[in-house]
Amino acid sequence: MTEQPKTLVELSGVAKVYGGVEVLHAIDLALRDGEFMTVLGPSGSGKTTVLRLIGGLVQPTRGKVLLDGRDISAMPINRRPFNTVFQDYALFPHMTVEANVGYGLKVRGESRARIRDRVIETLRLVALEEFAGRYPSQLSGGQQQRVALARAIICEPRLILLDEPLGALDAELRRQMQRFLKNLQREIRTTFLFVTHDQEEAVTMADRICVMNHGRIEQIGSPEEVYYRPVNEYVARFFGDNNLIDVALGEAGEEDRELVSDVGSFRCRLEGRSAVGAATRDSPGKLLVRPEAVVIGEAANGMRNRMKVRVEETGFVGPVSQVTVSAAAKPELRIMVKLPSRAGGIPLAVGDETEIGWSDRECHVVTA
């Protein structure tokens, strides 16, 4: 038997209404102790509201916020063992890095010697021990972000809440900070709840991703689950390129299911207790096949799922080459194929008639 991870914070049926508009619709979310969870969704989907409800900056209209199973809905912000890192860092401009980082401990009334030791230790964690005497204005954006982080970590919170903390950094620095944060979290093992609207950022950093849309949680899962086994079309389209083919569900086998479409009959393997496995015959659905799972030409021989196609477009995109094909039986259906690039180029030309294929393990079905 596998051990159940301990739940640190839980939102149970939490809804939030602002001026008569419900912006969060009774969500349930359990944050595991020690995990790095990212909350991902487009602007306005309710990400910041989730963070503020946990942090205690706003109160739920309905439902409860639990910490270690106890209702903390009425607990004031400063009594919650959480710390927030904001996008604009919110450092004190007139204080040195050392004073900024030590501030939380000073408020708690810790001794000067103890504060000094802890500040040095924490600045080492964020690789800023040389910068203790500087003022925020003398630091780069990335360094300021690390000061903000150090200031949050030093109080040893049970949970660190981060609301799009890397939004102000340029692309390269942002990637550096992503790796830095991820490694730091592994080292200190504190639970992180990290809000972002950037899918790549969410996928690279998270143990689990919570995908939000219009004030609802669409799916919570590991990056692989969300990418390969999205629960619905929204999530399937949200992450990277995907091919979606309209199908009707056919016979359900022991391990796979028949899918009927106007471009052929396919089979898809069902993993675990898939909702689709239980769905009734003839229900409409979408078959999802990632472009990198599609093979083309001879490689399609012997594949369980095959389709006759015409090459419409080829392109070289660095490490991958992209081929767009149309289905012979339905030219308006376009399928994207991604192949590893080879020095010889793609052995296909526009107008070629060939076949594509994919294995029954490399596809996924969602019902409409």
Distance of closest approach, residue 25 Cβ to Mg ion, in angstroms: 17
Distance of closest approach, residue 46 Cβ to Mg ion, in angstroms: 8
Q: Which is nearer to ligand ADP, 19 or 109 (CB)?
A: 19
Q: Which is nearer to Mg ion, 45 or 243 (CB)?
A: 45
- Pick from 3, 19, 79, 302 the residue near ligand ADP by CB under 6 A: 19
User: Which candidate, 321, 325, 309, places its Cα nearest to that of 347?
Assistant: 321
Distance of closest approach, residue 197 Cβ to ligand ADP, in angstroms: 7
Report strand pairing: 305-317 vs 353-358. Answer: antiparallel
DSSP string, 257-272: EEEEETTEEEEEE--S
Q: Which is nearer to ligand ADP, 43 or 78 (CB)?
A: 43
Give the integer Cα–Cα distance in Å for 97 and 49: 30
Could you give the C-alpha distances from 366 to 76, 184, 192, in angstroms and in order?
Answer: 42, 37, 30
| Collapsed DSSP state (helix, strand, coil) of residue 44 | coil
Distance of closest approach, residue 21 Cβ to ligand ADP, in angstroms: 7
CB 308 within 8 Å of CB 286: no
Q: Which residue is nearest to Mg ion (CB)?
A: 48
Give the burial string for 278-312 (b: 16+ CB within 10 Å, else e): ebeeeeebbbbbbbebbbbbeebeebebbbebebe
Structure tokens at 341: 């690039």
Distance of closest approach, residue 58 Cβ to ligand ADP, in angstroms: 7
- Pick from 45, 122, 185, 274 the residue near ligand ADP by CB under 6 A: 45
Q: Which is nearer to Mg ion, 42 or 133 (CB)?
A: 42
Distance of closest approach, residue 214 Cβ to ligand ADP, in angstroms: 9
CB 206 within 8 Å of CB 37: yes
Distance of closest approach, residue 72 Cβ to ligand ADP, in angstroms: 20
Edge to edge, what strands does the sheet with 191-196 contain?
Answer: 82-85, 159-163, 191-196, 36-40, 208-213, 216-221
Amino acid at 25: H
Q: Which is nearer to ligand ADP, 201 or 362 (CB)?
A: 201
Q: Which is nearer to Mg ion, 16 or 47 (CB)?
A: 47
Number of CB atoms found within 10 A of residue 16's CB: 23
Q: Which is nearer to ligand ADP, 125 or 168 (CB)?
A: 168
Q: Which stretch binds ligand ADP (CB under 6 A): 45-53, 92-100, 307-315, 360-368?
A: 45-53
DSSP state of 274: -
48 is a site residue for Mg ion (CB under 5 A): yes
Q: Which stretch binds Mg ion (CB under 5 A): 23-31, 47-55, 59-67, 146-154?
A: 47-55
Q: Which stretch binds ligand ADP (CB under 6 A): 40-48, 264-272, 302-310, 338-346?
A: 40-48
Number of CB atoms found within 10 A of residue 276's CB: 17
Q: Which is nearer to Mg ion, 45 or 191 (CB)?
A: 45
Q: What share of the chain is helix, strand, coil (3-state, %, to 5)?
A: 30, 35, 35
Q: Which is nearer to Mg ion, 162 or 259 (CB)?
A: 162
Distance of closest approach, residue 134 Cβ to ligand ADP, in angstroms: 32
Q: Which stretch binds Mg ion (CB under 5 A): 12-20, 46-54, 89-97, 257-265?
A: 46-54
Pattern 141-180, ligand ADP, x by CB under 6 A:
----------------------------------------
Give the integer Cα–Cα distance in Å for 108 and 114: 12
Q: Which stretch binds ligand ADP (CB under 6 A): 47-55, 77-85, 239-247, 322-330?
A: 47-55
DSSP state of 37: E
Amino acid at 220: I
Give the integer Cα–Cα distance in Å for 54 and 67: 9
| Binding-site ranges for ligand ADP (CB under 6 A) | 18-19, 23, 41, 43-49
